[in-house]
Chains A and B, each alone.
Chain A
Amino acid sequence: MSLIDPDSIRHGDRLALSRALTAIENNALVGEELQSALFPYTGKAHLVGVTGASGSGKSTLVNQLAKAFRRSGERKDAPKIAVIAVDPTSPFTGGALLGDRIRMRDLAGDQGIFIRSMASRGALGGLAHKTAAFATILDGAGFDLILIETVGAGQAEVDIAQLAHTVIVVEAPGMGDDIQAIKAGILEIADILVVNKADKPDAENTALALQAMLNMFHGGSLPVAGKHMRHAEHGSLEGHHSDLNEWKPPVLLVTATEGKGISQLVEDIERHKAHLQTSGLWQVKEASRLKRELESLIRESLMDQWQQKVDGKKLESVMKDILKRKYAPVEAVKLLL
């Protein structure tokens, strides 16, 4: 890997940017150096996650959002937009077919947009291990808005909630009954709920069911708003849980293929960003995200250190004993640390 100059990335060199992302994805040392060099310039971009079941129309929605945001400013100060589109890696071959660009062909030729497809490479939370690092580089490269499309997600792929400032959960009509809507997981992380394919007959019922579920969380007297639980987990929201922090996720009907409902969605994304900034939640989210990133890097690094110093023969014999059911893995840990 040749040298990559962080300054040229900051000044819009797209080839340098692309090479930086490749270096990070491949765990090359230069990738770490670039993250360090660019980190002081980050913290400005608005990270917006788009998640939902496969086939719910995430890529088409991202395509429309990027177009709409590019139109929103004056030509000169239209926001620069990066898209990170994550698709699953095959657990059997390690290969991946990344097809999100197919739905984003409208964005070709616009120098203010940069799209990068990413394979999940074994990560299970709906993103790849390096998605956060990608966001750091793109933020440092001066992109104002970073749209992150997750792997087709069901109920538990909620890593995006830790990474993004604003999470859009996309549902399609007819995907389940109202019990699905009150299950824990992906719906709880939504800052904005989109019922896509609103031209389908069941769309309004789906929207009503979602709305009813949200009213239960936010309007009723029960104190279990999933979103606040999420922050409270880190203890950072205690003490200023006031009305100012209350955000009721809107439920929007959208037909992404025709661009219907997109302008309302753009408006709500901007409104959510403003809400985060005025309420102080932006900083809370930043702190929690960076803490998470630090913890996961430490975990990785400790694992590396252990792998380097562990006695291979001992590991092998312990493994044999585990297979013979002499002792359980939980016990073996004590022998190997």
Chain B
Amino acid sequence: MTDRKIRVLIAKPGLDGHDRGAKIIARALRDAGMEVIYTGLRQTPEMIAEAALQEGVDVVGLSILSGAHNALVPAIMEKLKENGLDQIKVFVGGIIPKNDIPGLLDIGVYAVYGPGTDTQKASEEISNAVLQENM
């Protein structure tokens, strides 16, 4: 598979309307040579899992600033599983308190990227995670 490109869905679940961080990471991943599908604001877990299925993505990035990550992320992981998409790498960005990170990693989140994350480092990590799985 020589023409393989990493495909990423960047989604903003929940009700907060701040998508600057989501756009920055989308841009960084694009510049790292990935195909980034940006879905916009206020996505439900169902919408995200359905878009991930239709778009055939390897990675889902969730940007959450509302504080509802402990409710939203498990719901999204569940819906992805229901759609048969267990192999997708999920990462979370936004405002996530330190104490909540282990819980998210426990339910299968691949990484949590807070404010100040080096976007280049993050995109390298994401790309390595996908490539390792498929090589």
User: Which A residues form the contact surface with B (CB < 8 A)?
Assistant: 1, 14-15, 18-19, 21-22, 25-28, 89-90, 93-99, 101-102, 105, 108-109, 114-117, 119, 121
Contact = CB atoms under 8 A, between A and B. Distances in A.
19 contacts: A15-B84, A18-B53, A27-B1, A89-B35, A95-B29, A95-B33, A96-B30, A97-B26, A98-B36, A98-B38, A101-B37, A101-B51, A102-B38, A105-B39, A105-B43, A108-B46, A109-B47, A116-B56, A117-B35
Interface of B: 1-5, 7, 26-27, 29-40, 43-44, 46-47, 50-51, 53-56, 83-85
A27 B56 contact: no
A117 B4 contact: no
Nearest to B58: A22
Contact of B36 (A18, A94, A95, A116): A95
Contacts of B30: 90, 93, 95-97
B39 A101 contact: yes
A132 B117 CA distance: 40
A102 B40 contact: yes
Chain A binding surface SS class: mixed
Nearest to A15: B84
B131 to A, nearest CB: 13
B84 to A, nearest CB: 5
Contacts of A94: 5, 33
A25 B27 contact: no
Given A22-B56, A119-B5, A98 B50 contact: no
Contacts of A105: 39-40, 43, 47
B38 A101 contact: yes
Contact of B35 (A1, A27, A96): A96
A117 B84 CA distance: 20
